[in-house]
C-alpha cells in the first residue's frame, strides 16, 4: 500500500504543473512576435504576442520548452515560471528553398540565374492575373500588357525575349499546355486575351514563383524552356488545426488616357476648312449659321461607350492536416466589369491539393484545379471604315449627331453611311467561355533517406467555346440579316514522368545530389466552327443557327496531335558548403521533326563559389553573403513551324463559284523540309550575389549572353516559285547580351518601423549577328543589326508656301519635309551598283530622290525595364508604393498619325484629334502638324521620324495602405484581420503624348484606367 | 523497390522511348494521296481559278484577286488610269487618274506590288499541269483538266504582260529545285510569245466549245485571251485569224438580243454574249460583286438592303463624248433623285456621272451585288475584227463597217457617218471611241488606248487641264507609263536580273 502510495505520489509529483510565462527577443532586445513556444514532446504550444511575451499553462515541471522562429536558431530551456529567450539569427537566414525543376535546392546552393518571388509580397487588389502582378518583380523578366482590356494579353519576355517563345509555365511540376486565342471568323473580335496560362490561376493559391532565366538552370526543361521557365508552387495543407482564410476586395476604375477628339462645333469648322484646303469649297456642308447655332458640345462618343469599371473578388481557402493527410481547398471568384460597356471578364477557380503519407516510405498526392473564364467582348481592333470597332468608332464617329435619331434608331453618319454607330456595336453579343481542368498526381517512394523515386502523371484539358452574334441593329448585321458564329476548341495535354532523386553527404564535406528521369508528353487539339448569316429574326442570337437561310455557311473543323519524349539528368555537387557544381542534361525528342532528326541533346553546367565561407572572410561582420556564379547551357527549340511534310490543303478563303455554285479548290500549301532539326540557344551567365549587414543590403547581378543558332525560320524562296517559303534552319544567328540587377535593402528595421526597398533594372541588347548567305541588306541596313534600331527618313518640319523640292515632287505646302540625304552609285548604264553583300552602294550625296537610300537609323527603342518597390510597416500598419516602367522607348503616336495624315477623312464626317487644329494651312503657316497636302505626297510618314515620340515611362502602379488588427482583439478567435485600401495606376510619368505608352497600341486601343480598391484579408 | 519492378519499369520506358514520335494533322493532304483520281484533278484545277477572284472589298485577302473591286483590281486599274473612270474619293484615285506615279513614288506602289506578286501563279499553273500529266488518271480525263489549266495560265500570262510587259518565268528545272536561288531575268517578248501560244493553243485544242458551267474555261475564252494577247503585241495578222475563229462561233455566242443594260443583269447571268465572266455567289466570300457598291452613291435608292460607297464615276469629259440616244448610257446618271426625294444634279457631282455597269441589284445586301463580273463579250469580237481587218490593210467599207454598225445598232444608234469611214485612220479612231462607249468600266480601256498610242497623251491632257483650272502642280508623264513599273522589291530580290521597264 505504501509502495502504491509512493508510486501514486511519484506520479502526482510528476504531474505537478506550473504556468510558464516569458519573453522572446532577438539579440538587439527587440521582441519577436509570433515565435512558436512549445513544450517538447507534447502538442502543447503557443505563440508570442506583440510584445514578444507568451504564457503556457499546465506545463509539467521539468519539461523542456522549445522556442523557434523563422530565421533564428531554435532554443530549448527547462521550464520555469519566468523565462527569457534571446534568439540568435541563424546563419541560414536567407536559406530559402528554391524550386529548380524536377526538384528544389537551397537558395544558397544555386549556381544558375533564378529569380524568386514570394506570392505574399505581391499586391493583389484588382489584378486578374499573376502575370499582371509579376510586372517588374523579377529582374530580367519584362512583362508588359499589350492591351488594357479585362484579362488582356501580356507579353512576357525573359531576357529580351530573344527566343521568340513564350515562357514555359510549370505548376507544381507539370507544364501547362499552351493556349491560343480563338477567332470568331467574322469581322469582329475582342482584344487578344492573356493566354500565358497564368490567367487560369487564383493568385491567392500561389506560394511562390521561381523564374529560371538562363539555360544552365532552364536546360532541365529542355526544348520547352527556350523562352525561360516560370515555376509556380501552389500552397499546400499543413499539419495542425484547420485554417480558414478569406480575402476579398472591390475596386472601381475610371478611364485615364482617352485621346482628345474635337467637339461638334470644332469639327464643323475644321471640316469646312479642310474642304477649302482641298480646293473643294463647293462641297462644304456647314453654313456659318449652322455652326453658330449648334447647341452644346455634340455627342462625346467615348463617354457613351464607357462607364466606371468594377472589379470584385472573393477568395476562400481552407487548409487542414493530420499526421498523414494534409489538404488545401480553395475557391475564388473574380469579376471585372471593364471600362467599356458590356465588356467583362469573370473567373471562377477551385483547387484541391491533397498529400497523404501511406508510410514513412510512400507518399502520394493530388493537385487539381478547375478554372472557368467567361469573357463578354466588345469589338476591338484597328479596323477602319465599315469594320471599325468600338474604340476607334467612339473616337472618330461624327460628333454632330445624337446617339439615336428621331425614330429611336441609331444615328448614322450623314456624309457617308458606312461607319457603324459606336453605341450600336455594343449590341453585338460576343461571349467566350473557357474551362480548364488541371489535375496531376504523384506517387513517391523513398526506400532510403537518400533516395526517392517519384512518378507524376498530369493532364491539362481546355474547352473553349466562343459565341458571337451581330444583330440587325448594327450596320454589319443589317447587311447580312444577322450574323452568328459558334466556335469551339478543345486541347489536351497528357504528361507522365518518373524522376529519381539521390541525395547524400559523404565524409561531411561532399554533398551530392543526383536526379535522373524520363518524361513523355502528348498534346492533342481539335475543334470546329460555323459562321452563318441571313437569319429570319435576331432574338435567338447564335443559339438557333439552323434558322440561317444562307446557302453555304462557313464551316470548319480540325484535329491534330504531337508528341514529345525526354530523358533528364542532373548532378549537383557541393564541396565543404563552399564550392558548388551543377551539371544537367536533357535529351528531347519532338514529333515536329522527321525520325532521323527527332532527338536533340541539351546540356547545362554551372558552378558557384561561396566566397564568404572562406576562412579569410568568415569573421567579417559586415559581409553576410558573397557568391560568384557562372554557368553555360543550351536549350533547344522545336519551333512553331512544323514543316517536314509537303502537303496540299483545301484553300482557305473561298473564291470560286462556277455557274454560281460554291466550289472548293485544293492547292499546295506547304513545301516540306525533312531536314529540319532542332534550333539551339546557348547561354553564358555570370552572376554575383552579395549581402551585407546581416543581408539587410543585398545585390544580385547577372550578366549574360544568349546566342540563338540554327534558327527555325520560314525562308523566303524566290517569289516566282509556287510555294514561296519553306521552314528551315537558318544560318542567321541572334544574340542577346544584358545585365540584370536586383537590389534589396532593408532601410530601416526596428520594433515599430520597417522600410524596405527593392529595385530591379535590366539592360539588354538583341542583335542579329550573322546573316543567311542569300540575305540582301537594304541600303541602310548593317549586317549586324540591333533589333531595337528604328530606321526611317529624317524630317525637318513642313514644306512652306513657295518651297519645292526635287525629291518631293508631289509635296505641296504643308506636307512633311523629308530629307534627301543620300543617293545610289550608278554604273555606266545608269544602273545601281551593289557592294559585296549585295547591298546597293550609296553615294553619300543627295540625289534629288527620296527612297530607301535616304533612310538612316533614327532611334533605338530597346526597353530598359525598371521597377522600384517600397514596403513600409509601422506597428500594425503596412504600406506599399510600387513603380515600374521602362527607361527607354520610342513609339509612333498611332492615333495622331492616323488622324493627321488621314485628315481628308473628315470630309466623310470622320472626327479628328484636337491636334489637327494645329495643322499647316494657308491661314496657319506656323502650324506644326502636316496639312492636307501630306496625304498626296506619295510618302508614308510612318517611315519617318515625324510621328515618333519618346516613350519611356514610369508608372506609379500601386499605392496601398493596410492595417492588421491584433488577434487579441478577437480573443484569438480570429488569427488575422487586415483591412487595406489601394490606388492603382495613379500616374504615368512619360514624355509620350499618345494613349498609354504601355497599353495604347494602335488606333483603337482599349483605354487604360485608374482604380481605387478596398479589401480585407481574414484568417481564422 | 524490388528488382523485378525496376526491370519492368525499365522495359516500359525503353518501349515507350524507342518508338518514333508522331505528329498528326488532319487538315493536311499528302502528296502520295493526291492527283490520283479525277476528283483530285478537278480540285486542283478549281484551285487555279481562285486567283482571278473578285476579292473582298479593300483586300482582306493576302493578295487582292485579279478582279477585285478596289484599286488592286485589274479592271479598276485599267479604267481609272484612263479618260473613262474617275473617283469621288480623291487621294489615291487622283494619283491613278492623273498618272502621278514614278517607279518609286506614289501610294499606288502597293497596287503594283500586289499585281506583280501574282506572277508566281505561272509556276503554280505549270506545276499543276505537270502533276496532271504525271497522274495515273486516264488520258481523256486528263486532257479535260489540262485544257483548263493551260487556258488559266494563259489568262494570267495576259494580265501580267498587259500590266508590266514580260515577267520572269521559271523553267521546269528551276521549279524542280525550289530551294535553289536562281535570279531569273524577264523573258524576251519572243520567249513570252512562245509560252503564251504554247499554253493557249494547247487549251484551244483540248477544251470543249462551250464551258460546262459559266465562268469555266472553254475554246471561246481561250481564243479571246489569245486574241487580246496578239492585239497587245501588235501581231494583227495572227489576231485577225483568231478573231475570225471566234466570229465563226456565232450561234454559240451572239450579241445579246435584249437591251444593252440587261447583258449585265442578274437575271441574264450566263447569256450568250458573255464569253468569259467571273460568276458571283455572295455566300462565297471572294466571289462577290462589290463593284456596284463602289460606284453607287450612298443616297441612291433602289436596293433596300444595299449600300453604296459612292466612289468610281464616269468622268464628265468622257460622258460628254456619247451621242444622244446611246442606250449604253441607260445605267449612267447625270442626275438622280436620292432617297430623301431631292434631285442630285450634275452641279452636285464634281467628278463625273454615276455609272452603274451592272445596274442596281434590288437584292443587294450591303455592298454585295449578285451580278457576274463580265470579262469578255462577243461585241468585243466584232469590234476587234473590224479593227484588225483595217489594220491588216483590208477595206473599211463592207465587212469592217458592218461589224461596227451591228454594235451601234444594238446601242440604238445609226450607222457610222461618212467621216468615220472616210479613211482607215478615221475609221480606227471611230472604233476606239466606239470601244470606249461599249466597254466602259469593263477594264479594256487601258490596253485599247495603249494600242492606239493614246494612253499617255490622254493622261497629259488631263494633267494639263487640272493644272490650269485648279493649279494642282501635277507633273507630266512620258511613254514609260505604257507599262506599270516593276516594284523595286522584285528587282532587288533578283539581284537586278530583272530590269525595270524602260524610261522609268
Render pLDDT for A496-547 as a digit per residue (tens, 0 to 9): 999 999 988 888 889 899 999 999 999 999 999 999 999 999 999 999 999 9
Number of H helices, E strands in chain A: 10, 49
In this structure, the answer to whether residues A369 and A505 fall within a common structural domain is yes
Q: How high is the pLDDT of residue B63?
A: 61
| Domain annotation covers residue A801 | no
Which of chain B's residues have a Cβ under 8 Å away from the Cβ of A718? 170, 178, 181-184, 493
In this structure, the answer to whether residues B130 and B187 fall within a common structural domain is yes
In this structure, the answer to whether residues A70 and A141 fall within a common structural domain is no
B284 CB within 8 Å of a chain A CB: yes
Nearest CB partner across the interface for A812, out of B47, B270, B473: B473
Of A87, A108, A138, the last residue of a domain is A87
The answer to whether residue A626 scores a pLDDT higher than 70 is: yes
What rounded mean pLDDT belongs to chain B? 92
In this structure, the answer to whether residues B119 and B196 fall within a common structural domain is yes
Q: Sorting pLDDT into bands at 50, 70 and 90, what band is B58?
A: very low
In this structure, the answer to whether residues B117 and B198 fall within a common structural domain is yes
User: Which H helix or E strand runs over A98?
Assistant: strand A97-99
CATH number of the domain within which B385 lies? 1.25.40.900
In this structure, the answer to whether residues A147 and A30 fall within a common structural domain is no
pLDDT tens-place string over residues B312-341: 999 999 999 999 999 999 999 999 999 889
Q: How high is the pLDDT of residue B1?
A: 45
Burial level of A1018, CB count in 10 A (0-12/13-18/19+)?
middle
In this structure, the answer to whether residues A550 and A685 fall within a common structural domain is yes
pLDDT tens-place string over residues A266-284: 999 999 999 999 888 888 8
CATH number of the domain within which A204 lies? 2.40.170.20
In this structure, the answer to whether residues A508 and A643 fall within a common structural domain is yes
CA nearest B204: which of B190, B188, B217, B189?
B217
Angle (CA) A816-A818-A824 rounded to 5° is: 155
Q: How high is the pLDDT of residue A217?
A: 74
Residue predicted with more confidence, A139 or B277:
B277
B46 CB within 8 Å of a chain A CB: yes
In this structure, the answer to whether residues B432 and B488 fall within a common structural domain is no
CA nearest A166: which of A209, A231, A229, A115?
A229
Give the residue-averaged pLDDT of A885-910: 92
Which of chain A's residues have a Cβ under 8 Å away from the Cβ of B282? none
Alpha carbons B209 and B204: distance in angstroms, whole number: 9
A598 CB within 8 Å of a chain B CB: yes
The answer to whether residue A92 scores a pLDDT higher than 60 is: no
| Domain annotation covers residue B172 | yes
Nearest CB partner across the interface for A665, out of B47, B127, B285: B47
Q: Sorting pLDDT into bands at 50, 70 and 90, what band is B8?
A: low
Give the residue-averaged pLDDT of A733-758: 91
| Domain annotation covers residue B147 | yes
Tell me how close the Cα of B403 comes to any Cα of chain A, in angstroms.
30
| Domain annotation covers residue A907 | no
B309 CB within 8 Å of a chain A CB: yes
The answer to whether residue A13 scores a pLDDT higher than 60 is: no
| Domain annotation covers residue B141 | yes
The answer to whether residue A352 scores a pLDDT higher than 70 is: yes
A559 CB within 8 Å of a chain B CB: yes
In this structure, the answer to whether residues B107 and B200 fall within a common structural domain is yes
In this structure, the answer to whether residues A164 and A71 fall within a common structural domain is no
In A290-319, the residues whose Cβ lies within 8 Å of chain B are none
| Domain annotation covers residue B169 | yes
Q: Sorting pLDDT into bands at 50, 70 and 90, what band is A836?
A: confident
B94 CB within 8 Å of a chain A CB: yes
Nearest CB partner across the interface for B309, out of A418, A554, A838: A418
In this structure, the answer to whether residues B83 and B176 fall within a common structural domain is yes
In this structure, the answer to whether residues A548 and A644 fall within a common structural domain is yes
Give the residue-averaged pLDDT of A289-295: 92
Which of chain A's residues have a Cβ under 8 Å away from the Cβ of B340? none
| Domain annotation covers residue A20 | yes
A666 CB within 8 Å of a chain B CB: yes
| Domain annotation covers residue B460 | no
| Domain annotation covers residue A394 | yes
Give the residue-averaged pLDDT of A480-491: 93
> Per mean pLDDT, which range of A206-220, A362-376, A608-622, A951-965 is the poorest?
A206-220
Tell me how close the Cα of A413 comes to any Cα of chain B, in angstroms.
11
Q: Sorting pLDDT into bands at 50, 70 and 90, what band is A10?
A: very low
Q: Is A648 within 8 Å of B29 when comparing Cβ atoms?
A: yes
| Domain annotation covers residue B86 | yes
CB A762 within 8 A of CB A864: yes
Q: Is A453 within 8 Å of B179 when comparing Cβ atoms?
A: no
Which of chain A's residues have a Cβ under 8 Å away from the Cβ of B95? 936, 938
Tell me how close the Cα of A238 comes to any Cα of chain B, in angstroms.
29
Q: Is B50 within 8 Å of A656 when comparing Cβ atoms?
A: yes
Match 496578239 to its residue by C-alpha cell. Answer: B230
> Per mean pLDDT, which range of A43-52, A56-65, A98-107, A720-729 is the poorest?
A98-107
In this structure, the answer to whether residues B79 and B180 fall within a common structural domain is yes
In this structure, the answer to whether residues B192 and B110 fall within a common structural domain is yes
CATH number of the domain within which B128 lies? 1.25.40.390
| Domain annotation covers residue B28 | no
Q: Sorting pLDDT into bands at 50, 70 and 90, what band is A1?
A: very low
Alpha carbons A648 and B128: distance in angstroms, whole number: 12
What domain range includes position B149?
A: 39-55+64-207+483-493
In this structure, the answer to whether residues B387 and B488 fall within a common structural domain is no
Residue B139, CA distances (Å) to A393, B11, B120, B143 in order: 58, 55, 27, 6
What domain range includes position A30?
A: 16-87
In this structure, the answer to whether residues B389 and B489 fall within a common structural domain is no
pLDDT tens-place string over residues B360-397: 999 998 889 999 999 999 999 999 999 999 999 999 99
Q: Is B44 within 8 Å of A666 when comparing Cβ atoms?
A: yes
B283 CB within 8 Å of a chain A CB: yes
pLDDT tens-place string over residues B159-178: 999 999 999 999 999 999 99
CATH number of the domain within which A70 lies? 2.60.40.1120
pLDDT tens-place string over residues A156-194: 888 777 777 788 888 887 888 766 677 888 888 888 888
Which of chain A's residues have a Cβ under 8 Å away from the Cβ of B181? 717-718, 774
Which of chain A's residues have a Cβ under 8 Å away from the Cβ of B25? 558-560, 642
Residue predicted with more confidence, A579 or A119:
A579
In B412-471, the residues whose Cβ lies within 8 Å of chain A are 470
Residue predicted with more confidence, A651 or B223:
B223
Of A55, A87, A119, the last residue of a domain is A87
Q: How many domains does chain A have?
A: 2
| Domain annotation covers residue B46 | yes
CA nearest A995: which of A892, A918, A916, A902?
A892
| Domain annotation covers residue A703 | yes
Max Cα distance, chain A (Å): 131
Q: How high is the pLDDT of residue A929?
A: 93
What rounded mean pLDDT belongs to chain A? 87
Which of chain A's residues have a Cβ under 8 Å away from the Cβ of B175? 721-722
Q: How high is the pLDDT of residue A90?
A: 61
In B377-416, the residues whose Cβ lies within 8 Å of chain A are none
In this structure, the answer to whether residues B48 and B133 fall within a common structural domain is yes
A838 CB within 8 Å of a chain B CB: yes
B215 CB within 8 Å of a chain A CB: yes
Q: Is A445 within 8 Å of B1 when comparing Cβ atoms?
A: yes
| Domain annotation covers residue A853 | no
Q: Sorting pLDDT into bands at 50, 70 and 90, what band is A362?
A: very high
Q: Sorting pLDDT into bands at 50, 70 and 90, what band is A751?
A: confident
Alpha carbons A371 and A129: distance in angstroms, whole number: 13
Which of chain A's residues have a Cβ under 8 Å away from the Cβ of B31? 646-648
Q: Are strands A229-234 and A168-171 parallel, antiparallel or unpaired?
A: parallel
Question: How many CB pairs below 8 Å do chains A and B form together?
Answer: 266
Task: Give φ, ψ of A700 to 5 degrees.
Answer: -130, 115
**Helix pair B378-391, B219-233: axis angle to 10 deg:** 40
**Percentage above 70 pLDDT, chain B:** 95
A186: closest chain B residue by CA: B285
CA nearest A1006: which of A146, A196, A335, A312?
A146
Residues comprising chain B, all counted: 504
In A348-387, the residues whose Cβ lies within 8 Å of chain B are 385-386
Give the residue-averaged pLDDT of A423-444: 93
Q: Sorting pLDDT into bands at 50, 70 and 90, what band is A887?
A: very high
Q: Is A938 within 8 Å of B43 when comparing Cβ atoms?
A: no
Q: Report the 3 state secondary structure along B406-419.
A: HHHHHCCCCCCCHH
Per DSSP, the three-state class of A833 is coil
Q: Is A648 within 8 Å of B22 when comparing Cβ atoms?
A: no
Q: What is the DSSP string of A245-309?
A: EEEEEEEEEEE-----B--HHHHHHHHHHHHHHTT-GGG----HHHHHH--SS---HHHHHB--E
Q: Is B28 within 8 Å of A669 when comparing Cβ atoms?
A: yes
Which of chain A's residues have a Cβ under 8 Å away from the Cβ of B179? 715, 717, 726, 728
In this structure, the answer to whether residues A77 and A162 fall within a common structural domain is no
The answer to whether residue B59 scores a pLDDT higher than 50 is: no
Of A43, A60, A87, the last residue of a domain is A87
Q: How high is the pLDDT of residue A946?
A: 95
B23 CB within 8 Å of a chain A CB: yes
| Domain annotation covers residue A599 | yes
Which of chain B's residues have a Cβ under 8 Å away from the Cβ of A500? none
Tell me how close the Cα of A190 comes to any Cα of chain B, in angstroms.
18
Amino acid at each position: 500500500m505504501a509502495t502504491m502510495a509512493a508510486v501514486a505520489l511519484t506520479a502526482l509529483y510528476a504531474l505537478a504543473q506550473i504556468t510558464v510565462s516569458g519573453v522572446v527577443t532577438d539579440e538587439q532586445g527587440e521582441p519577436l512576435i509570433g515565435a512558436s513556444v512549445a513544450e517538447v514532446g507534447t502538442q502543447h504550444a503557443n505563440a508570442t504576442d506583440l510584445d514578444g511575451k507568451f504564457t503556457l499553462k499546465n506545463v509539467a515541471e521539468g519539461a523542456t520548452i522549445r522556442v523557434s522562429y523563422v530565421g533564428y536558431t531554435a532554443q530549448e530551456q527547462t521550464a520555469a515560471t519566468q523565462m527569457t529567450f534571446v534568439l540568435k539569427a541563424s546563419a541560414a537566414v536567407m536559406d530559402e528553398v528554391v524550386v529548380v525543376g524536377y526538384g528544389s535546392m537551397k537558395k544558397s546552393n544555386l549556381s544558375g540565374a533564378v529569380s524568386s518571388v514570394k506570392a505574399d509580397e505581391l499586391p493583389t487588389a484588382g489584378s486578374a492575373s499573376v502575370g499582371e502582378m509579376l510586372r517588374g518583380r523579377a529582374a530580367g523578366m519584362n512583362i508588359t500588357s499589350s492591351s488594357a482590356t479585362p484579362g488582356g494579353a501580356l507579353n512576357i519576355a525573359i531576357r529580351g525575349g530573344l527566343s521568340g517563345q513564350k515562357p514555359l509555365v510549370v505548376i507544381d511540376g507539370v507544364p501547362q499546355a499552351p493556349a491560343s486565342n480563338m477567332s470568331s471568323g467574322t469581322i469582329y473580335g475582342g482584344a487578344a486575351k492573356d493566354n500565358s496560362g497564368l490567367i487560369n490561376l487564383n493568385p491567392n493559391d500561389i506560394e511562390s514563383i521561381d523564374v529560371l532565366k538562363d539555360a544552365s538552370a532552364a536546360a532541365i526543361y529542355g526544348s520547352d524552356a527556350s523562352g525561360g521557365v516560370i515555376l509556380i508552387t501552389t500552397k499546400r495543407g499543413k499539419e495542425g488545426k484547420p485554417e480558414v482564410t478569406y480575402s476579398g476586395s472591390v475596386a472601381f476604375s475610371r478611364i485615364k488616357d482617352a485621346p482628345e477628339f474635337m467637339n461638334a462645333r470644332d469639327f464643323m469648322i475644321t471640316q469646312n476648312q479642310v474642304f477649302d484646303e482641298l480646293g473643294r469649297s463647293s462641297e462644304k456642308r456647314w453654313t456659318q449659321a449652322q455652326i453658330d447655332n449648334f447647341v452644346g458640345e455634340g455627342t462625346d462618343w467615348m463617354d457613351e461607350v464607357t462607364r466606371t469599371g468594377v472589379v470584385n473578388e472573393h477568395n476562400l481557402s481552407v487548409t487542414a492536416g493530420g499526421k498523414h493527410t494534409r489538404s488545401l481547398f480553395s475557391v475564388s471568384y473574380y469579376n471585372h466589369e471593364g471600362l467599356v460597356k458590356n465588356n467583362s471578364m469573370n473567373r471562377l477557380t477551385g483547387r484541391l491539393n491533397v498529400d497523404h503519407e501511406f508510410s514513412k516510405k510512400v507518399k502520394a498526392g493530388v493537385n487539381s484545379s478547375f478554372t472557368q473564364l467567361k469573357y463578354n467582348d466588345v469589338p476591338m481592333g484597328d479596323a477602319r471604315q465599315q469594320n471599325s470597332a468600338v474604340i476607334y468608332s467612339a473616337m472618330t464617329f461624327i460628333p454632330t449627331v445624337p446617339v439615336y435619331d428621331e425614330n429611336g434608331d441609331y444615328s448614322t453618319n450623314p456624309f457617308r453611311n458606312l461607319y457603324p454607330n459606336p453605341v450600336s456595336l455594343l449590341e453585338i453579343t460576343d461571349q467566350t467561355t473557357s474551362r480548364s481542368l488541371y489535375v496531376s498526381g504523384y506517387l513517391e517512394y523513398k526506400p532510403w533517406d537518400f533516395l526517392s523515386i517519384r512518378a507524376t502523371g498530369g493532364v491539362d484539358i481546355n474547352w473553349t467555346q466562343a459565341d458571337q452574334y451581330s444583330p440587325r441593329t448594327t450596320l454589319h448585321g443589317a447587311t447580312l440579316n444577322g450574323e452568328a458564329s459558334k466556335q469551339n476548341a478543345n486541347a489536351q495535354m497528357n504528361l507522365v514522368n518518373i524522376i529519381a532523386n539521390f541525395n547524400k553527404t559523404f565524409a561531411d564535406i561532399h554533398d551530392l545530389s543526383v536526379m535522373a528521369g524520363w518524361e513523355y508528353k502528348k498534346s492533342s487539339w481539335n475543334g470546329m466552327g460555323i459562321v452563318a448569316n441571313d437569319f429570319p429574326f435576331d432574338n435567338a442570337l447564335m443559339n438557333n443557327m439552323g434558322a440561317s437561310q444562307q446557302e453555304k455557311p462557313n464551316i470548319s473543323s480540325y484535329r491534330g496531335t504531337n508528341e514529345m519524349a525526354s530523358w533528364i539528368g542532373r548532378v549537383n555537387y557541393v564541396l565543404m558548403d563552399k564550392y558548388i557544381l551543377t551539371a544537367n542534361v536533357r535529351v528531347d525528342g519532338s514529333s515536329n521533326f522527321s525520325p532521323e532528326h527527332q532527338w536533340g541533346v541539351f546540356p547545362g553546367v554551372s558552378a558557384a563559389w561561396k566566397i564568404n565561407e572562406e576562412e579569410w572572410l568568415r569573421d567579417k561582420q559586415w559581409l553576410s553573403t558573397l557568391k560568384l556564379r557562372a554557368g553555360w547551357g543550351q536549350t533547344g527549340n522545336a519551333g512553331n513551324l512544323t514543316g517536314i511534310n509537303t502537303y496540299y490543303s483545301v484553300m482557305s478563303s473561298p473564291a470560286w463559284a462556277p455557274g454560281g455554285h460554291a466550289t472548293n479548290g485544293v492547292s499546295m500549301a506547304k513545301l516540306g523540309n525533312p531536314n529540319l532539326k532542332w534550333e539551339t540557344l546557348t547561354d553564358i551567365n555570370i552572376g554575383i550575389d552579395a549581402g551585407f549587414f546581416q543581408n539587410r543590403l543585398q545585390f544580385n547581378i547577372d550578366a549574360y549572353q544568349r546566342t540563338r543558332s540554327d534558327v527555325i525560320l520560314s525562308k523566303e524562296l524566290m517569289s516566282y516559285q509556287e510555294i514561296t517559303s519553306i521552314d528551315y534552319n537558318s544560318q542567321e544567328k541572334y544574340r542577346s547580351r544584358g545585365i540584370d540587377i536586383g537590389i534589396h535593402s532593408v532601410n530601416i528595421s526596428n520594433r515599430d518601423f520597417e522600410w524596405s526597398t527593392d529595385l530591379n533594372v535590366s539592360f539588354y541588347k538583341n542583335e542579329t549577328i550573322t546573316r543567311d548567305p542569300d540575305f540582301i541588306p537594304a541600303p541602310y541596313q548593317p549586317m549586324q543589326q540591333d533589333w531595337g534600331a528604328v530606321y526611317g527618313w529624317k524630317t525637318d518640319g513642313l514644306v512652306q508656301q513657295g518651297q519645292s523640292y526635287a525629291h518631293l515632287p508631289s509635296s505641296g505646302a504643308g506636307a512633311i519635309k523629308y530629307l534627301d540625304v543620300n543617293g545610289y552609285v550608278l554604273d555606266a548604264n545608269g544602273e545601281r551598283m551593289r557592294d559585296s553583300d549585295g547591298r546597293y552602294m550609296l553615294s553619300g550625296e543627295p540625289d534629288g530622290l527620296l527612297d530607301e537610300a535616304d533612310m538612316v537609323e533614327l532611334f533605338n527603342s530597346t526597353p530598359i525595364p525598371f521597377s522600384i518597390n517600397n514596403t513600409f510597416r509601422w506597428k500594425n500598419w503596412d504600406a506599399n508604393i510600387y513603380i515600374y516602367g521602362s527607361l527607354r522607348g520610342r513609339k509612333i503616336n498611332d492615333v495622331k498619325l492616323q488622324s493627321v495624315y488621314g485628315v481628308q477623312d473628315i470630309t466623310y464626317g470622320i472626327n479628328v484629334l484636337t491636334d489637327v487644329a494645329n495643322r499647316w494651312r494657308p491661314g496657319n503657316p506656323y502650324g506644326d502638324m502636316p496639312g492636307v497636302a501630306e496625304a498626296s505626297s506619295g510618302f508614308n510618314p510612318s517611315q519617318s521620324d515625324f510621328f515618333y515620340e519618346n516613350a519611356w515611362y514610369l508608372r506609379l502602379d500601386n499605392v496601398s495602405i493596410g492595417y492588421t488588427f491584433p488577434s487579441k482583439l478577437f480573443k484569438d478567435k480570429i488569427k488575422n484581420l487586415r483591412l487595406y485600401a489601394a490606388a492603382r495606376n495613379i500616374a504615368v510619368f512619360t514624355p509620350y503624348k499618345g494613349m498609354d505608352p504601355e497599353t495604347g497600341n494602335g488606333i483603337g486601343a482599349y483605354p487604360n484606367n485608374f482604380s481605387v480598391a478596398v479589401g480585407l484579408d481574414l484568417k481564422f | 523497390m524490388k528488382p523485378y519492378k525496376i526491370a519492368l519499369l525499365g522495359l516500359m520506358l525503353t518501349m515507350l522511348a524507342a518508338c518514333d514520335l508522331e505528329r498528326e494533322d488532319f487538315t493536311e493532304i499528302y502528296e502520295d494521296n493526291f492527283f490520283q483520281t479525277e476528283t483530285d484533278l478537278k480540285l486542283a484545277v478549281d484551285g487555279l481559278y481562285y486567283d482571278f477572284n473578285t476579292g473582298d472589298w479593300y483586300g482582306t485577302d493576302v493578295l487582292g484577286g485579279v478582279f477585285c473591286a478596289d484599286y488592286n483590281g485589274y479592271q479598276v486599274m485599267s479604267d481609272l488610269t484612263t479618260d473613262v473612270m474617275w473617283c469621288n474619293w480623291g487621294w489615291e484615285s487622283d494619283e491613278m487618274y492623273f498618272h502621278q506615279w514614278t517607279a518609286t513614288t506614289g501610294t499606288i506602289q502597293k497596287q503594283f506590288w500586289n499585281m506583280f506578286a501574282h506572277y508566281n501563279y505561272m509556276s503554280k499553273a505549270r506545276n499543276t499541269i505537270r502533276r496532271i500529266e504525271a497522274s495515273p488518271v486516264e488520258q481523256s480525263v486528263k486532257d479535260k483538266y489540262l485544257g483548263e489549266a493551260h487556258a488559266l495560265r494563259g489568262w494570267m500570262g495576259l494580265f501580267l504582260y498587259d500590266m508590266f510587259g514580260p515577267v520572269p518565268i521559271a523553267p521546269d528545272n528551276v521549279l524542280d529545285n525550289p530551294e535553289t536561288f536562281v535570279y531569273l531575268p524577264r523573258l524576251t517578248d519572243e520567249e513570252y510569245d512562245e509560252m503564251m501560244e504554247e499554253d493557249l493553243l494547247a487549251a484551244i485544242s483540248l477544251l470543249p466549245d462551250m464551258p460546262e458551267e459559266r465562268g469555266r474555261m472553254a475554246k471561246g475564252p481561250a481564243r479571246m485571251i489569245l486574241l487580246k494577247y496578239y492585239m497587245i503585241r501588235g501581231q494583227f495578222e495572227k489576231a485577225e485569224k483568231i478573231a475570225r475563229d471566234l466570229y465563226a462561233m456565232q450561234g454559240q455566242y451572239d450579241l445579246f438580243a435584249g437591251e444593252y443594260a440587261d447583258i449585265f443583269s442578274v437575271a441574264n447571268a450566263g447569256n450568250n454574249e458573255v464569253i468569259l465572266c467571273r460568276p458571283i455567289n455572295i455566300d462565297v466570300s471572294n466571289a462577290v460583286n462589290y463593284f456596284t457598291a463602289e460606284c453607287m452613291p450612298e443616297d441612291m435608292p433602289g436596293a433596300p438592303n444595299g449600300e453604296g460607297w459612292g466612289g468610281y464615276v464616269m468622268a464628265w469629259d468622257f460622258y460628254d463624248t456619247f451621242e444622244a440616244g446611246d442606250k449604253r448610257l441607260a445605267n449612267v446618271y447625270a442626275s438622280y433623285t436620292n432617297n430623301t426625294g431631292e434631285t442630285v444634279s450634275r452641279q452636285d457631282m464634281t467628278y463625273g456621272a454615276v455609272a452603274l455597269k451592272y445596274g442596281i441589284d434590288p437584292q443587294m445586301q450591303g455592298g454585295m451585288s449578285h451580278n457576274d463580273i463580265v470579262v469578255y463579250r462577243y461585241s468585243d469580237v466584232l469590234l476587234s475584227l473590224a479593227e484588225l481587218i483595217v489594220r491588216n490593210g483590208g477595206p473599211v467599207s463592207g465587212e469592217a463597217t458592218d461589224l461596227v454598225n451591228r454594235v451601234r445598232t444594238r446601242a440604238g444608234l445609226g450607222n457610222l457617218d461618212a467621216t468615220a469611214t472616210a479613211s482607215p485612220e478615221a475609221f480606227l479612231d471611230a472604233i476606239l471611241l466606239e470601244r470606249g462607249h461599249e466597254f466602259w468600266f469593263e477594264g479594256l480601256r487601258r490596253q485599247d488606248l495603249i494600242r492606239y498610242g493614246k494612253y499617255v497623251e490622254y493622261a497629259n491632257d488631263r494633267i494639263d487641264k487640272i493644272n490650269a483650272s485648279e493649279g494642282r502642280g501635277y507633273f507630266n508623264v512620258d511613254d514609260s507609263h505604257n507599262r506599270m513599273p516593276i516594284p523595286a522589291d522584285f528587282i532587288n530580290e533578283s539581284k537586278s536580273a530583272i530590269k525595270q521597264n524602260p524610261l522609268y
